[in-house]
Structures are given as C-alpha cells and as structure tokens.
Amino acid sequence: MGKLKYSLLVLFGACSYGVLSTIFKLGFLDGFSAHELLGGQYVFGWIGLLLLVLFFSRHTVTKKQFFSLLTVGSTMSMTGIFYAISVEELPASIAVVLLFQFTWIGVLIEAVANKTFPSRGKIISIIILFIGTLFAGGVFERLGQSLSTKGIIFGLLAAVSFSFYIFASGRIATDVPPYTKSFLMTTSATLIVCLIFPPTFLTNGALQAGLWKYGLFLGLFGVVVPVICFSIGVPKVGTGLGTILGAAELPTAIIASITLVHEAVSPLQWCGIICILLGIAAPQYLTMRKEKRKSVQHAVS
C-alpha cells in the first residue's frame, strides 16, 4: 500500500504538468509570447519554492549534493526550452506525441542503469501507452502532412531531457528533504531559462498587463507541485514506473483543453486517452496481483 501512495503522488505531479499546455494557450490568447510565459513559469515557481524552503526546510547540503542537484535542474529547463521550440515548429498534438517518447526512453535508461531487462508489466504498459499516445495526439488524423525536421528533432530532445530528469530526480541526493532538493534543482533551471530567454517581462510592463496571473499558475502547476511530487515519489517507485505514471500528463492536457479552451476531441483521441489510462494502470495491477499471490503462498506455507 505504501508504494501505491507514492505512485499516486507521481501521478498527481504528472497531472499537474498536464494543465500547463492549456494555461499556455490561454496566455497566447491574451497576447503573451512563449518566452514570457516560460520565463514567468520558472521565476514564479522559484519564488514559491524559496518561500517553502525558508519557512519549512532549512537544510544544509554538501558541496557534492549542491552541484548534483544544480545539474539535474538543467534537464528541467532544457525540457521546457526544447518543447517550446518544438511547439513553435509543429502542430501541438504532434509535439506532445514526440515529448511522450520519454515513457519508453525512461524505462530503457533504467534497464541500462540497473543492468536488468524491463519487467513484463512495464513492457506491456509501454506498448499500450505508445498506441494510446498516437491516437490521443491525433497522429492518424494528420497523416500526409509535411512536418518540420527541426521541430521533430527538438521534440525528441525534449523527450530525452525529460527522461533524464525523472531518472536523476529518483537517484540523486535522495536523502535531501524534498523542498530543499526541489529548490536547488529549480534554481539552476530558472537561471538557464533566464539566460536563454532574458526576463524582459520584469521591466517592460508585461507583468502588470496580466502576465503575473499566468506566471503564478504556471509556476505552481509547472514547477512547485510536480517537482516536489517527483522528488518524493520517484525514488520510492523507481524510474521505470515513474516515467509510466508520467504519461498521465497527456490525458490531463486534453481534458483541460476541453474544459477551459473548449477544444473538440475526436473519438480516436478518446480511445487514445482510455489506452493511456490502461497503460498507467497495468503495471500497478500486475504488481498488486503478484504481491497478493505471494501473500497467499506465504499464508499457505
């Protein structure tokens, strides 16, 4: 039951990420650029985590832990930057399908790191997730379209970067309290985003024009909540299962788009959402069934 609790925490973090695309769409409709929204996300998220650390988690870290966590944070920022470029070059549905290749990449990274073959449950889950992602992303409805090579490359780079972020967050400095760990990772991520996309919104009046409310929600759902959830949950459930649970981001994104932006969703996309949910549930079900079988055998013996 303990592992299920941590799985739900990772699932909640992934759902939090899923709300981001809709908030970005609303920000675009209000006239703000991707650079302004991405910068606002990290600046407000960093401030939120700073407040949490100051009030709840003043913990001293070693020099090794400090630099390790800053390095992990760079994978966070690069995921956002690569994905933003991919979305600019490709239809959003195709960009999100490319990003979601992190599900099998993460399982592959775990298998190489642990020198073990993925379990049957994870392989089944990955196959179901892959099929579901193709349907949910509307890939089959866009066959024949010419796609930007640059967009495809950056979409796949976002997937690789996100896979390494989940892997590293579950392996590095696991004894550091979640608030402190999340704050240090976000610090380097924010610095990198601000270096690549200078935060001119802090002085050009964009904040007062309404960017602050988007930055606030993007910082909460795109930095504070998921980073803390992943910091606590992924070390307990493992990288492979963590990446599978991360797939909940896509159905959340689609449902949020329906609710807030009133986007139309085709029957094929609904089939994809159901597939993804089944893919997420499969390893949990197989694990619980295996544990139940063991407990029955132990009781008999």
**Tens of pLDDT along 111-143?**
888 888 887 778 888 888 888 888 877 777 765
Is it the case that residue 225 has pLDDT exceeding 70? yes
Q: How buried is 8 (Cβ within 10 angstroms: 0-12 exposed, 13-18 middle, 19+ buried)?
A: middle
Would the pLDDT of 110 be above 90?
no
Instruction: State the pLDDT at residue 142.
Output: 65
Q: Name residue, tokens 């650390």.
A: 53
What's the pTM? 0.80
* Res. 186 pLDDT band, cuts 50 70 90: very high
User: Does residue 45 or residue 106 have the better pLDDT?
Assistant: 45
What's the number of CA atoms in the CB half-sphere (13 Å) around residue 179?
14
Q: Which residue has the higher pLDDT, 59 or 212?
A: 212
Average pLDDT for 36-62:
88
Residue 203 and residue 25 in contact, taking contact as beta carbons nearer than 8 Å: no
* Calpha distance 256→82 (Å, rounded): 22
Amino acid identity of residue 153, one-letter, is I
Say what angle helices 149-171 and 225-237 make with each other, to 10 degrees: 60
pLDDT > 90: percent of the chain: 13
Tell me the mean pLDDT in the region 43-53: 92
Dihedral, CA of residue 214, residue 219, residue 223 and residue 224, to nearest 10 = -130
Give me the pLDDT at residue 171, please. Answer: 82
Confidence of residue 190 (pLDDT cuts 50, 70, 90): very high
Which residue has better confidence, 262 or 61?
61
**Average pLDDT along the chain:** 83
Amino acid at 213: K
